[in-house]
Amino acid sequence: MSVWQAILVGIIQGLTEFLPVSSSGHILLVSRLIGVEPSLSFTLILHVATLLSVVIAMRKEIADFLRSKDKWGKIILATLCSLVVIFGLKGLLSDALDGKFLGISFLLTAALLIVSGFAKPTKDAVGYLDAAIIGCVQGLAAAPGISRSGSTISTAMLVGVEKKASVSFSFLLSIPIIIGSATLDLITHGVGSISVLPLAIGFISAFAAGTVAVKIMKRLTAAINDAFAVYLIALSILVAINDLFLHLF
C-alpha cells in the first residue's frame, strides 16, 4: 500500500466510522476503485485510531459513564443484543460482506435518517428496552452500507430519545464494538504485515478524520441529517447503475 492510498483509506475510515454513511461500505467501494485491499494490520491500526479519536472527543461522557452502573448496564445489554443479531444472521451477513446488497443498504440507511427526522423526543435518556432495540439494529449494521452510527442514532431518536442523548449513547456503544471487532480480527487472522510508514500515515489520517467526524455528529442538526440522506440516495443509485450496466468497480 502506497502512502497516498494509506492517507485516503485512513481519512475515509475515520470520517465514515462516525458519520452516518457506513465505513465498511465506503472502504469496500474505495478498495475496488483503487485496487487495494487493506491488510489486517492496517485495518487494526485504523480501528485503534478511530477508537482513540472517540475516546478523546467523548472523554467527558466516558468519565460520566464510568461512574454510572446504570449506563454500564445499558451499554452491555445493547452490545449483547448486537452480538445475538450478528451471530443469528451470520449467513445473511456473510453474503452481504462482498457488497452484494450495498446499494440497498445505503438506501436503508438513508431511509432511517429521513424517518428519524420526524421523531418527537419524549425522554432525555436511553432506557433498557431502548438499549436492547438499539443494540439489535446495531447488529444489522455489520452489513456494509448500513451505517452503525446512522442506524443507532436514528433508532434511538425513533424510540423517543432526544438527539443529544442519542448521539452520546451511539458513540459510547461504538467503543466495545470497535474493540471487539479488532480483537476478533486479530484472533482469527493474526496481524499480517505492512511497512511502518503506511501504518503511521493511516493512523494519523484516521485519527484526525475520526475526531472531526465525532465533532460534526455531536452538533447534528436536521439539515446535516438530510444532507447525508441525500448523499446516500445518490450513492445507492450510482452503485445500482454500476452493478447493472457499467461494472467499473
pLDDT digits (tens, 9 = 90+) for 116-135: 999 999 999 999 999 999 99
Query: Residue 150 pLDDT more than 60?
Result: yes
In the chain, DSSP finds a helix count (H) and a strand count (E) of 12, 0
Total residues belonging to the chain: 249
Backbone torsion region of residue 247, taken as left when φ is above 0, otherwise alpha when ψ lies between -120 and 50, otherwise beta: left
Nearest to 17 by CA among 41, 53, 45: 53
Determine the structural domain holding residue 164 and report its residue range.
3-246
In sequence order, the 6+-apart residues with CB closer than 8 A to the CB of 146 are 22, 25, 105, 108, 109, 140
Yes or no: say if 116 and 35 are a contact pair by the CB < 8 Å rule.
Answer: no
pLDDT digits (tens, 9 = 90+) for 59-115: 998 898 888 888 899 999 999 999 999 999 887 777 777 788 999 999 999 999 999
Yes or no: say if 44 and 189 are a contact pair by the CB < 8 Å rule.
Answer: no
Question: Taking the model in full, what pTM does it have?
Answer: 0.91
pLDDT at 107 (0 to 100): 96
- Maximum pairwise Cα distance, the chain: 55
Number of domains within the chain: 1
Yes or no: say if 167 and 218 are a contact pair by the CB < 8 Å rule.
Answer: yes
Long-range contacts of 229-232 (CB under 8 A, 24+ apart): 229/110, 229/111, 229/113, 229/114, 230/110, 231/21, 232/21, 232/106, 232/107, 232/109, 232/110, 232/113
Nearest to 11 by CA among 203, 149, 198, 206: 206
Q: What is the mean pLDDT of residues 136-165?
A: 95
